[in-house]
Amino acid sequence: MQFHYLLAALILLLAVYPYVGADPIALKVLSWFVLTTGVYAVSNRRRQVVIAALLAVPAFGLGWLYIITGVPALGTAESIFTLLFYAFTALICLLRVVSARRVTSDTISGAVSVYLLMGLTWATAYSLVETVNPGSFASSQPDAAFTFPTFIYYSFVTLATLGYGDITPLTDQARSLALLETVSGTLYIAVLIARLVAAAGLIPESGGE
């Protein structure tokens, strides 16, 4: 059941963020659920829990300090720790999913969680690029503000290769990230489906998890 909680937290974040995106406190609370369930999702090994906690605690603490003080450096540091946490959690979950010998509902939840974590990882990377180098992205809407919720939208549009074109990467760094996300999303779907189909065929379902 470890992946079920993580998936629920991720879906909650993605479903609610459009309505609370202007409220940084509400967004931080939603992020806290993802951080907590992410640590729990990798809790099958002590070393993984320690690494996840060492990334999650600073990400959470620095986020609140940034809200209180408004110091830009704290926001950048928070993004770095959050990016590392999302990437680490996605990698560990992916390894557990591909090594599963039997496909269960928890395995499916883990596979979906990895995909959603990929989107959040790239969204955080885009936010970092824009923070370090303002003007890395352009919007078709005049005077559009590039907030983290905006990059969540752009990240998943890119990950799913929808390509609406309303947000455009301008710098080489931003374009490189967009290219890598598109490739990773396409490869993930192809490889994951093949792996799950193979796992389902190796061991017949027993009727329970």
Kindly report the pTM of this predicted structure.
Answer: 0.89
In the chain, the number of structural domains is: 1
Count of all residues that appear for the chain in the document: 209
Q: Domain limits at 182?
A: 2-202
pLDDT band at 143 (very low <50, low <70, confident <90, very high): confident
208: in domain: no
Question: Which two three-digit tokens encode residue 64?
Answer: 């609140």
85: in domain: yes
Q: Measured at the alpha carbon of residue 58, what is the angle toward residues 149 and 62, in degrees to the nearest 5?
A: 55
Taking only the tens place, the pLDDT of each residue in 55-113 is 999 999 999 999 999 899 999 999 999 999 999 999 999 988 888 778 888 888 999 99
209: in domain: no
CATH number, domain at 167? 1.10.287.70
Burial per residue of 156-179, b for 16 or more beta-carbon CB atoms within 10 angstroms, e otherwise: bbbbeeeeeeebebeeebbeebbe
